[in-house]
Structure 1
Amino acid sequence: MRNKILIVDDVELNRDILSDMLEDEYDILTAADGRQAITIMNSEIENIAVVLLDLVMPEVDGFYVLNIMKERDWMKDIPVVIISGDATVEVETRALKFGVNDFIHKPFNVNIVRQRVKNITDLYNYRKQIEERYNTQTDILEKTNILLRRQAYELHQNNARIIDILGTVVESRNLESGEHIHRVKGYTHLLALEYMKLYPEEGMTTHRAKLIASASSLHDVGKIAIPDSILLKPGRFTPDEFAIMTAHTSKGAAIVKEMSDIWDEEYGTACYEICLYHHERWDGKGYPMHKKGDEIPLSAQLVSLADVYDALVSERCYKDAFSPEQAYEMIVGGECGQFNPKIIECFKNLKEEFENFDAEHYSLEDENSDLPDYMTQMF
């Protein structure tokens, strides 16, 4: 399809001369004044390659047309060549400020007009090709990005399901209802979000908070390898039995490491850290490696407090349940080992949330997603 040229001039002879010069190579549109030119551009905006515009016209002059084109953002799409008998610097400067592409003085030379129009249309066509190619490539990249994000989202969902299933298996061996895992997940999430709010400099994000909470489901997976005679013992452990029981941390980490190929690295790392370190304490008096302070990964520190709180307020084969108030005082008072002071501050702020936590109606998926809008609309 040939390019279209719009010739705007109030003198019919000028329009005819320019049309004769260009009609062999272009489809010609003509307008006798600025108002007619604007009407034509309204309907042909996508098809016009160049506008040849006279400035001096009755009623609606060329500058008015340029102003309308600028207001409607047409100047970036349609090259404009001014053809005028006024050769003053002031007129040219004023026209150039609108962003016109060229200036041809009357009386015009046929070869000059043809060559300049050709140069501009060639540039116009080249730019369109570049834009179309760019848009095509951008569209391909966007679709690829959406696909990758979708795969990442599905991988995340699969990770969460696998972790929940494994955690439930452990709880069934431990003769507990399975709600322990769900409660620890909820408490961990509350703590992580509060930590993000109180200590933004630490780099916690909503995504990270969710990931840690989900990974917390595996904190006791190593208990799979602990004999029932010890796991289900109602009384106090002997030193040897305690040593076997504490090994569930390293055994859990080993299990997670063996399963590293079924989830992404970030998830696997969080699961590994939580399994291995969730019984460490801030003062170094935990187990299995007696880590202390920030040697203990933050993920494990958060799960540790959540796990201790739920253990205190839950009835176990070896103890009655403490009240939430008693559990709160015991943790804050250091009776359950030392915790990161920052996490204790979070816990203090969340006292009522912990006491009123409803595991039955809580789900990580109910929380505001940190996925982009277009991703949340896909699922």
Structure 2
Amino acid sequence: MKIKVLTAYPNAIWGTHAAEWLSAAAALDVHGVHTLTEDPEAADAILFMEGHQGADMFMEEVLWHPLRRRYPDKTFIYHDWDYAFPLMQGIYPSLRAVHHKPGVSAGGVYLARIEENHPVSRARDLNLPQDLLYSFVGANNCEVRDRILKTNIPETYVADTTQRHAWLLSPEERATYEGEYASVCVRSRFMLSPRGIGPSTYRLFEAMEMGRCPVILSDDWVPPPFIPWEKFSLRVKESQVGDLPRILADAPHVALGRAAREAWEQHIDRPHAFHHLAETLRLILAQKVALQGTLRPYLDLLASDMRNLYLRARAKRVKRALKSLLASRPASAVPEAGGQGAKP
């Protein structure tokens, strides 16, 4: 496939980062099956590579972009927001199963990190015994995480980081935080990867990169295709947090961890990321369903559990647009107090 990669938000913070990251990954590609092109006409797929733009949560700039309107059948989006809804065909790392439509959407992995994953780098230099059955370090932002953080099980480690964001720490504090996290991960036989605000989590891919078996606790998660999840991960129902010691007791953590690292190297690491993302686009095309125009997905959205979230987001966008419009009006167009037409 020939793929044109771009963004609809070139002027946003980190707006071009995801597209640039994927283009750099394409330059390292070892498969040689798919290539990049700048020509939308010659492209087999046009991919808007987007992060999570706060001002446009549902990526409507992409939906109404001239290229998407001109080539609707071959235009896709990569959209990694926690509340992503498939208004158009694409790859959604945090897609909810109830919203998944084969031939329109696919699960995906988190790509295009802004910086190197420092805890993983630190973990490479550590040689510690695996004396912890499992660990979880993360924010308490959903029910299953709350249960994990409140369950007291011997030889495990859990920590609530709700009020501790690495990017807000001083360099010294961040180094300490990341060093502690790396040590905990290395000591763990299993790394819990519970859903967060969305059904996916960065913890899952960190576990793979660190060579630890991820325990996926997310009933609504849509697995990215092509990755052999059954060979290296354990999927446990969110309601079974209390049963984790029994479930994990005899699982072959060493072999699973080794297979997890191998899967990360073969499917997610940069030399392979572009290929598997392109293969996912090809899978969507192979499962093709007739596109029902732009109105139908909006009706599905308004009938979903995201209706209120979308309406609030839309109201905020309208408010910002009106404020910007008023601010751009010349002063002479705004009546002065006491001027002509003013009430006495």
Q: Given the two structures, how large is their TM-score scaled by the length of structure 2?
A: 0.26
Identify, as 1 or 2, the structure richer in strand: 2
Identify, as 1 or 2, the structure richer in helix: 1
* Structure with higher RCO (Cα < 8 A, 6+ apart): 2
